[in-house]
Structure 1
């Protein structure tokens, strides 16, 4: 049995969840929600200038999540189903078949992404996949009303941390064999995924941009193109 981690944005999903969220927002958002988005865009642009692209993405992501404050789980489920409808055409179907091949062999599949977990759940449901999901958590009050806050963004080293935690907890429950019997795969597309690709036994780079492609060639990591 292997553990297979699959990234979402740029990997299983060849589009960009930020763009899809914008399109869904154009259909659903109020003026007040857009004001929240653009207010945080200014803050994100400043952080991007000082700390780089990832800081920009993280701050903008947090700002977008604030538009969900006060929404129920049911309302947000509807919103994320709209995202899936907009993004379904951008599924990497060759990779989807590889995921199904892994499942047929009895491997454990983890969709591992910085995207919001409710979005990932809606997408996987649409694809008819039964996989584990590790994504950025959208936070709720005990009455299941959204707080507008998110948990740690699952990106970079955080992905490695989350996989280690998942393995530890599932081993403790007796769901996984011993570590020396496990092989871990990763399908990912981004330079920020290098810590994960270095951690696993079988890294596979999917449609990489130039920087990651160079690293993949240097380290002889296989490349999967669409």
Structure 2
């Protein structure tokens, strides 16, 4: 079973919340990086539309984390989760716990940054798999400011397939279980995911 994050499990605007958290944590250098990114994102948006703006802005915002340690990133995303607690979809949290008790395999699947999703699941006490957009680090564990593949649209399906195949290989998932798939999601970009799964829940 996959669960979307933005607009589904988390009903607020994570972009807006990241801005608010950054306002309390970022210095001038980090804000200058974000500002340059906004200019590039605006240009991309004019040519390619709203989704291109969001993608470009997302990458620019990630660059502001360059040079941060795991501990510093954890502190930032813990703060972000606390600030957005009122927007957590509590009813869906309870449904996920029911699926956990039934032994279902659950993935939080989102284009949001993986450290954010990890902080979120820790805060709400969910023991689930996470597929998100990775913040990359160098050999010393210091954030480079770069991100991996943006988990959006068709990429969600690609990564779920990879996850399922890996779990089947190591014996954690049976073929029967893999053939019964659910998705909780609410976005137009989740149409490929809805086409992939058996049961679609909004």
TM-score normalised to structure 2 length = 0.97
Tell me which stretches of 4 or more aligned residues in structure 1 moved more than 3 Å.
Answer: 179-182
Structure 1: state its 5+ residue gaps.
Answer: 206-226
- Alpha-carbon shift at residue 179 of structure 1 (Å): 4.4
- Say whether 1:35 aligns with 2:32: yes
Match of 2:164 in 1: 167
Q: Distance in 2 between matches of 1:161 and 1:54?
A: 20
Q: Distance in 2 between matches of 1:156 and 1:43?
A: 22
- Superposition CA RMSD, Å: 1.0
- Alpha-carbon shift at residue 49 of structure 1 (Å): 1.5
- Say whether 1:202 aligns with 2:188: no
- Alpha-carbon shift at residue 96 of structure 1 (Å): 1.0
Structure 2: state its 5+ residue gaps.
Answer: none
Match of 1:221 in 2: none
- Alpha-carbon shift at residue 162 of structure 1 (Å): 0.5
Which of 45, 49, 70 does residue 46 from structure 2 map onto? 49
Match of 1:125 in 2: 122
- Say whether 1:80 aligns with 2:77: yes
Q: Residues 75-115 of structure 1: CA distance to partner in whole angstroms, max 9, x if unpaired?
A: 11100001011111100111111111111111011000000
Match of 1:60 in 2: 57
Match of 1:222 in 2: none
Q: Distance in 2 between matches of 1:77 and 1:180?
A: 34
Match of 1:20 in 2: 17
CA contact (8 A) 2:3 2:109 kept: yes
Which of 86, 93, 104 does residue 96 from structure 1 map onto? 93
Tell me how many residue pairs correspond in the alignment.
202
SS in 1 for 2:64: helix
CA contact (8 A) 2:45 2:51 kept: yes
SS in 2 for 1:149: strand
Q: Distance in 1 between matches of 2:52 and 2:176?
A: 34
Q: Distance in 2 between matches of 1:96 and 1:88?
A: 12
Change in Cα spacing, 1:165 to 1:30, as seen in structure 2 (3 Å) is same
